[in-house]
Chains A and B, each alone.
Chain A
Amino acid sequence: MAESNKFIVGLWDHEEVYLHAIGHIRGKGIEIYESLTPFPVHGLEDALGYRETRLHTAGFFFGATGTTLALTFMTWVMTFNYPLNIGGKPYWPLPSFIPITFELTVLFSAWGMTLTYLVRNRLWPGRVPRIFDTRITDDRFALVFDSEKLSDKEMSDIKSLCKNEGAVEVKDKVFTENEGL
């Protein structure tokens, strides 16, 4: 899908005003292209109507993979591949497997989740992101609207709506083709 290059960026300086603004803007049926904040704002994903992330479900399956792998591998080594009499202990010493099984469960879950997180969030070293405003990582809460999908009238309506909703700054932002994608 070709990404747009022209946007309207509205900037707020207080998260509560910002959350109310999102509610009103979405209530008017206006599509919000992106919402960016300097820190996680509670209730933002609900205000935007995002569904809950499934990252933790992925984490469960990664963890289960670790559990299975650890148990299978240790069983294969100790019981089948090289059964060794260690102080008369059983060849399948399940209680001894508990610590390593636990550690591998955590290891797989943590790494699997973090890698999924990076992939889904499109984060990697060297990625050049689209920066709508440099103060977004400082003290500005931003709403971005896709100008290419909007008529001139809709654009001016959105701009005045943002101002009415307490935006401290509303501006146009144009990126060059494929910049920061």
Chain B
Amino acid sequence: MHAYESEFREPLINGLDKTYTKITDDLVAPTERITPLWLVATLLTGAGACFFVFCLTWTVWYGIGTWGLNKTIGWAWDITNFVWWIGIGHAGTLISAILLLFRQRYRTGINRAAEAMTIFAVICAGMFPIFHMGRVWDAPFIFPIPNTRGPLWVNFNSPLLWDVFAISTYFSVSLLFWYSGLMPDFGTIRDRAKGKMRKWIYNMLGFGWQGTAKQWQRFESLGLVLAGLSTPLVLSVHTIVSFDFATSVIPGWHTTIFPPYFVAGAIFSGFAMVETLMLISRWMFKLEDYITVAHIESMNKIIVMTGSIVGIAYLTELFIAWYSGYLYEQFAFYNRILGKYFWAYAIMMTCNVVTPQFYWIKSFRRNLYVTFILSIFVNIGMWFERFVIIVTSLADDFLPSSWAYFSPTWVDWGIYLGSISVFLFLFLLFSRFFPTIAIAEVKAIFRISSEVAKTERAKAAGSKAPNGFVGLQSVGPLNKDDK
């Protein structure tokens, strides 16, 4: 198999001093030291995570009445947060699976952290529906388990039940994907570990990885098939989440555009969160050579694409509401734009549709400060998208006497901000003890996409052009049988 690499492409591993050992050193380094910055961040988010647990305990002890819900708005921040977190959780498997199938080499720098992010985001997401049940100890009955009431089974017609299966499958398959990729890197950490204890722990975590040819062959096969399975899985999960709304008969929810619209929105918000975290960790752990501006630019292109899809979906919804001639649907959308939640709609439109359009300009796509700010904007905008869909559709229902307004209580705030703390806390722990960048996978693209390899090829081709540009060329046979 020849590997083709256009020399137009920027290197994905920067630095002319890079060798395989240097890559190992750089990428394992964050697991071998504690920085004061990391310690402070972990303690702060750990405190936030404790407050999350406190607020949940408060909810269970005193009941759902401690939230700002009322008779009309029975779903508000809880389900908003749930869909928001699930959406964020979509980028990880998307990056690992879809970008693997499309052979995008830039995935190797970001896939590990994005997969970890997926797992932590799904953990946060799962908390909301579980605690919204009130009697959390009855939570196992969301699964069809034998019981003494008939047995009375769950309703397989219900999208809420499909969601249970979709999210739990998504969580466990993402976990397998992430962990099976981690094993070789744990082996790397083990083999350079100094202490006996550290060696033992990382051998335990790495399941005794050796790196034999047969192991690698099965490793690649497993990764490829899991990617093939995860791709429709990612799409199905948010499709099913959108069914929670789309199969109901609430104006503003009952629309067939929801599945693609939700999936695009999920990828959009997930990439934004990956950018937020990667920009912080590349700075915190000095990974600038591995998460390059080329990576950031590629992600920004996906953000502008998915942001535009989301924008078209918003406009299509408006058009269809008008075109349907259905009074209640028209009222729901009129109400979204000009009603009492107009400000939420305005924030959503600005952050999701308007500001990502800056990424059509190359200098903005490649500017890390702009990227960081816009990624936060997208996170905010996507939270408001779910809030707008959920709360404004419920607030002014069919009966004007029951129209209501939702105001969050301190418990709502505590659980929401607490879940962000839990997420960051888990991510910080992950990035301290596990390799944040897939070491073996970065090494696998070293001879193709690194600055070292590109410079070598440029020299071999005798190019005097700037940046070593020598045009499209073959990297040469990677397999000795191909001549």
Contact = CB atoms under 8 A, between A and B. Distances in A.
Interface of A: 13, 15-16, 19-20, 22-23, 34-48, 50, 53, 55-56, 59, 63, 73-74, 77-78, 81-82, 84, 86, 89, 93, 96-97, 99-100, 102-104, 106-107, 109-111, 113-114, 117-118, 120-131, 134-139
Nearest to A75: B156
Question: Could you say which of B24, B144, B214, B447 has the most chain A C-beta atoms within 10 Å of its C-beta?
Answer: B214
A136 B213 CA distance: 12
A146 to B, nearest CB: 14
A56 B211 contact: no
Given A50-B217, A131-B191, A138-B24, A123 B207 contact: yes
B217 A59 contact: no
B285 interface: no
A96 B156 contact: yes
Contacts of A23: 480
B213 A135 contact: no
Contact of A39 (B155, B203, B212, B444): B444
Question: Could you say which of B153, B183, B218 has the most chain A C-beta atoms within 10 Å of its C-beta?
Answer: B218
Sorting the interface of chain B by its residue count into under 10, 10 to 19, 20 to 34 or 35 or more gives 35 or more
B210 to A, nearest CB: 5
A127 B206 CA distance: 9
B173 A82 contact: no
Nearest to A121: B215
Contacts of A111: 172, 176
A87 to B, nearest CB: 8
26 contacts: A16-B478, A16-B480, A19-B479, A36-B213, A37-B211, A38-B211, A41-B444, A42-B1, A42-B478, A56-B224, A59-B229, A97-B156, A100-B165, A103-B233, A114-B180, A117-B218, A121-B214, A122-B208, A123-B208, A128-B208, A131-B210, A134-B192, A137-B188, A137-B211, A138-B21, A139-B20
Contacts of A86: 155, 157
Question: Could you say which of A19, A36, A100 has the most chain B C-beta atoms within 10 Å of its C-beta?
Answer: A100
Q: 9 nearest interchain CB pairs?
A: A43-B479, A127-B208, A139-B20, A123-B207, A39-B440, A99-B162, A134-B191, A137-B188, A40-B216
Interface in B139-198: 144, 150-153, 155-157, 159, 161-162, 165-166, 169, 172-173, 176-177, 180, 183-184, 187-188, 190-192
